[in-house]
Amino acid sequence: ILAPVKTGNLVDNPGFEAGLTDWSGTDFQPNFEAPLEGVGNAFTSTGGILSQDVPIGNQPANSSYLFSFGAFVFGAFVPLQVQILWLDEGGKTIGTPGLSFALPIGVLGAQNNYLSYLDLTDPAPAGAVTARILFAPTIEDEDTFFKLDQVILIRASSANLVENPSFENGDEGWTFVNAQVAVSVDAYEGTNVAVIDEDGGVIFQDIPLANAAGHCFLFNSGLKYVRSGTEPGTGHALVKVLWLDDRGREIGIGLNLVTFGIALAEGFDPQWLIYTGITDTAPPGTVAARLQFSKLSGDNVVLDVDKVVFGRLI
């Protein structure tokens, strides 16, 4: 993906190429083995808090920000708490967090690789001059460690426009057809996922858009294919962004992703696949976008959907 953005990366030393320079975290240390990108990463085998204060005083007031990072865990159970806090000129926390979410205890260890995250913050409150980025993994088992790499914070044009993006409030804001919300110990984020079973189905949400014509939008979501029996299987799903007019009629397609996943045999952990896209420009008359996830019947796998992000970069 190549797309224009409003700023460069506002994080200093985002890939830990200079060790922990510009970061604070006494329980972390620089590491130069198996990074996500470049040669460095931040490492801890005891947990703790890693943070950086990012100046945003020269950005327009009430801005939202794109936030992304990659995390890796060796070991079974390492929950991770992530926050972005707003600070005033005196260094005091103001307003509600721009982001605050938890990665469940089983997800990172089951991935067997780095897992990337992307989100859009709520707008910074008036008076905010600093964005404090906080990572807090909890490690209690021996021979377990956590790695962090490639942290990104970029000014965007909107917060996440999706209502109930991680299904923590059930199906609120969504329409489900042959699908349901389920509790999962290895959700992509939080505790719930949307599930389309082996018989196929669809979930979608219509998102009102103001002045959408001529603009492109960012999309991101996690998908996971899970076997419905004891044998491995493969699955296909379609992810679409449809442009709707003021009568709810489809007037164009902004994004059309054909996804494929493998659900491994029993004894292997299913892994999250992260899909990111930039839509085509919305046509004149667009007043809403329909985010739609659908899966064919006949596959011997179920599809989990979690953490849906949709918003404007510029």
Q: Identify whether residues 200 and 305 lie together within a single domain.
A: yes
- Alpha carbon distance 311, 142 (integer Å): 41
pLDDT in tens, 163-219: 999 999 999 999 999 999 999 988 999 999 999 988 999 999 999 999 999 999 999
Whether residue 161 is contained in a domain is answered as: no
Number of compact structural domains in the chain: 2
Q: Identify whether residues 222 and 293 lie together within a single domain.
A: yes
Final residue before a domain boundary, out of 156, 186, 210: 156
The tokens describing 260, both together, are: 């494929």
Final residue before a domain boundary, out of 156, 186, 201: 156
Closest C-alpha to 295, from 187, 169, 177: 177
* pLDDT exceeds cutoff 90 at 261: no
pLDDT at position 162: 98
Longest dimension (CA), the chain: 59
Q: Write the DSSP string, 159-201.
A: ----SSTT-TTTTTT-EEESEEEEE-TT-SSSSEEEEE-TT-E
Length of the chain: 314
Whether residue 197 is contained in a domain is answered as: yes
Q: Is 107 helix (H, G, I), strand (E, B) or coil?
A: helix
Whether residue 299 is contained in a domain is answered as: yes
* pLDDT exceeds cutoff 90 at 228: no
Whether residue 204 is contained in a domain is answered as: yes
Whether residue 224 is contained in a domain is answered as: yes
Q: Identify whether residues 122 and 207 lie together within a single domain.
A: no
Mean pLDDT of 222-229: 86
Whether residue 292 is contained in a domain is answered as: yes
pLDDT over 90 for what percent of the chain?
82
CATH number at residue 94: 2.60.120.260
pLDDT at position 267: 63
pTM, full prediction: 0.95
The tokens describing 120, both together, are: 């859009």
Domain extent for 248: 175-311
pLDDT at position 284: 98
- Alpha carbon distance 168, 191 (integer Å): 7
Whether residue 14 is contained in a domain is answered as: no
pLDDT in tens, 9-36: 999 999 999 999 999 998 999 999 999 9
The tokens describing 55, both together, are: 């100046």
Q: Identify whether residues 210 and 299 lie together within a single domain.
A: yes
pLDDT at position 204: 98
Q: Identify whether residues 149 and 180 lie together within a single domain.
A: no
Whether residue 168 is contained in a domain is answered as: no
